[in-house]
Structures are given as structure tokens and as C-alpha cells.
């Protein structure tokens, strides 16, 4: 049980509000299936420009042109991007460029109804309870802000997007780095100690605690086993959080 009297709750997605299985077995395969056809259709359009910059930056290059300078022609560049995205997905690297691109690719799936985000059954009522109690609820996920908005706008419990006052992704900073949580607290406009961060990953919770946030470790069905909770209070459901 966690008793929380502070200002806001900051929620992770995978393993916290939604199952790891939905992300890995439904969302990621959708990207693999659509990757090449999406790249072909969007290639050369301004939509891809920031994504390609992030992909190059993640690979340690100064620019997309520098990263692809050995690839002759647009087709070779596209293939390089496709191969790099596949390599990152194979290794489950939560790189900003990949996450931004995944967000663009998921759009057609959420728009068509093929993708419906499976959030845990206790989540909608908890969001209602916390909002009614005056809490400022926001999301911090590796998934891009655009993807987060589509995700919560199309769930198995309907449109939950209006439950959130803010969204953060890895463009704010990596999730295992304390500075990212300091930046988020500054954006909330309150002391970090006024925010409760919920996640399934101990390294993320360690970083949030280092920044001064309160933390809760989510044990959801299908999550990877936790070897050492490192002092973070565990919960199995958002029903185990009482607010005041």
C-alpha cells in the first residue's frame, strides 16, 4: 500500500499501465510488418526529417547526411534506416529515433482500429479517482509523446487521454538518469518530492528517487522478475495507492 499526499503522479506505460505482452506481442510486431512500406511512403517528406536526425544522433553521428554518407542513393539510405531500426528492435533498445518512428507507424493501426491499447482493468478507475482528488497525472514513457497520446486515446476502456495533464518521452532525457526526473519536476512546477513515479523498472525508480521523487514498483502479470527491489515499495494494482 502507498499513501500519497503530494501533487502529482507520473506513470510509466509498459509493465505499469499496460502489459509488457501487449507492447511486445502486438505493438512491436505491427512496426516490423509495416516498417518498409511506411519508410517508402514517407521517404523524402518533412515528417521523417526529425526522426532521421534522432536516428543519426542515437548512432553517434552529427547529422543524417554524415551517418549515411557511404550509402549511394536514396534506396540505400532507406535500407540503412530499415536495417538499423530492425537491429535496435531485435535488441530492445529504447532509442529516441526508433521510438519516434514507431509512433508514426502505429498511427495507421490506431486510426484503423487494428491496434487497441490494452490497459490494466484497475487503471481507468484509478485515473478517475486521482483526478477527482486533484492530482496532476502525467506519463513518462520511452514511447514517443505522439505514440502515448494515440495509445491512451484508443484503449480497451475507451479514450483515457483527458486523464493526463502532461506527457514526457526520451526527448526529455533517458529514463534511468536522475536529471530527466529533475526536468520533469521543474515542468510540473513543484518539488520532486511532491511527485510519485510508478514503474516496473528498478533502474528508472532509482533515478527518480535520486531526483527526490517518491516511487512505487509495479508487479504486473507478465513483468520480468525483480531480483532486488532496492527499497522501492511494491504494488500489484493501482488500487493499492491511496491519496490524500
- Residues between 186 and 225 that touch Mg ion (CB under 5 A): 200
**What one-character DSSP code corresponds to residue 14?**
B
Q: Which string of x and - marks every residue 157-176 that binds ligand L4RZE5RM (by CB under 6 A)?
A: ------------------x-
12 binds ligand L4RZE5RM (CB under 6 A): yes
Q: What 3-state class would DSSP assign to 122?
A: coil
- Is 148 a binder of ligand L4RZE5RM (CB under 6 A)? yes
143 binds ligand L4RZE5RM (CB under 6 A): yes
Question: In this chain, which stretch among 10-18, 95-103, 149-157, 228-236 interacts with Mg ion, using CB under 5 A?
Answer: 10-18
Min CB(199)–Mg ion separation in Å: 5
CB of 198 to ligand L4RZE5RM, least distance (A): 11
**Intra-chain end-to-end CA distance of the chain, in Å:** 13
Stretch that binds ligand L4RZE5RM, among 11-19, 39-47, 154-162, 232-240 (CB under 6 A): 11-19
Reduced to 3 states, what is the DSSP secondary structure of residue 11? strand
**What gap in Å lies between CA 155 and CA 158, rounded to an integer?**
5
Size of the site for Mg ion (CB under 5 A): 4
Q: Residue 20 CB, nearest distance to ligand L4RZE5RM (Å)? A: 8
Q: Which is nearer to ligand L4RZE5RM, 82 or 223 (CB)?
A: 223
8 A C-beta contact, residue 78 and residue 68: no
Strand partners, 216: 198, 233
Is the distance from CB of 40 to CB of 226 less than 8 angstroms? no
What CA dihedral angle connects 41, 47, 53 and 56, to 10 degrees?
-20
The closest residue (CB) to ligand L4RZE5RM is 143
Pick from 165, 155, 27, 166: nearest CA to 101: 27
Between 77 and 175, whose beta carbon lies closer to ligand L4RZE5RM?
Answer: 175
Q: Which does 148 bind (CB under 5 to 8 A by kind): Mg ion, ligand L4RZE5RM, none?
A: ligand L4RZE5RM
- Residue 13 CA to its chain's centroid (Å): 6
Q: How far is the CB of 23 from ligand L4RZE5RM (least distance, A)?
A: 5
Cell numbers 506513470: residue: 11
Q: Which of 242, 200, 198 is nearest to 221 (CA)?
A: 200
Return the one option of Mg ion, ligand L4RZE5RM, none that residue 23 interacts with (CB less than 5 to 8 A, by type).
Answer: ligand L4RZE5RM
Distance CA 65, CA 36 (A): 20
Amino acid at each position: 500500500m502507498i499513501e500519497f499526499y503530494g501533487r502529482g503522479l507520473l506513470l510509466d506505460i509498459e509493465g505499469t499501465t499496460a502489459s509488457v505482452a501487449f507492447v511486445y506481442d502486438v505493438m512491436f510486431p505491427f512496426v516490423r510488418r509495416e516498417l518498409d512500406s511506411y519508410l517508402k511512403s514517407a521517404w523524402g517528406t518533412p515528417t521523417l526529417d526529425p526522426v532521421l536526425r534522432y536516428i543519426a544522433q542515437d548512432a553517434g553521428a552529427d547529422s543524417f547526411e554524415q551517418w549515411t554518407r557511404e550509402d549511394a542513393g536514396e534506396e540505400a539510405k532507406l535500407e540503412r534506416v530499415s536495417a538499423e531500426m530492425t537491429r535496435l528492435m531485435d535488441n530492445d533498445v529504447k532509442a529516441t529515433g526508433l521510438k519516434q518512428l514507431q509512433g508514426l507507424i502505429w498511427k495507421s493501426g490506431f486510426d484503423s482500429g487494428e491496434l487497441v491499447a490494452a490497459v490494466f482493468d484497475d487503471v481507468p478507475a484509478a485515473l478517475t479517482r486521482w483526478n477527482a482528488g486533484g492530482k496532476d497525472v502525467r506519463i513518462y514513457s520511452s514511447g514517443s509523446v505522439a505514440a502515448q497520446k494515440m495509445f491512451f486515446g484508443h484503449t480497451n476502456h475507451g479514450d483515457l487521454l483527458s486523464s493526463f495533464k502532461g506527457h514526457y518521452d526520451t526527448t526529455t532525457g533517458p529514463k534511468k538518469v536522475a536529471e530527466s526526473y529533475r526536468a520533469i519536476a521543474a515542468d510540473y512546477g513543484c518539488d520532486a518530492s511532491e511527485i510519485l513515479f510508478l514503474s516496473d523498472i528498478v533502474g528508472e525508480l532509482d533515478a527518480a528517487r535520486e531526483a527526490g521523487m517518491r516511487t512505487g514498483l509495479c508487479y504486473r502479470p507478465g513483468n520480468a522478475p525483480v531480483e532486488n527491489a532496492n527499497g522501492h515499495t511494491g504494488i500489484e494494482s493501482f488500487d493499492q495507492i491511496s491519496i490524500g
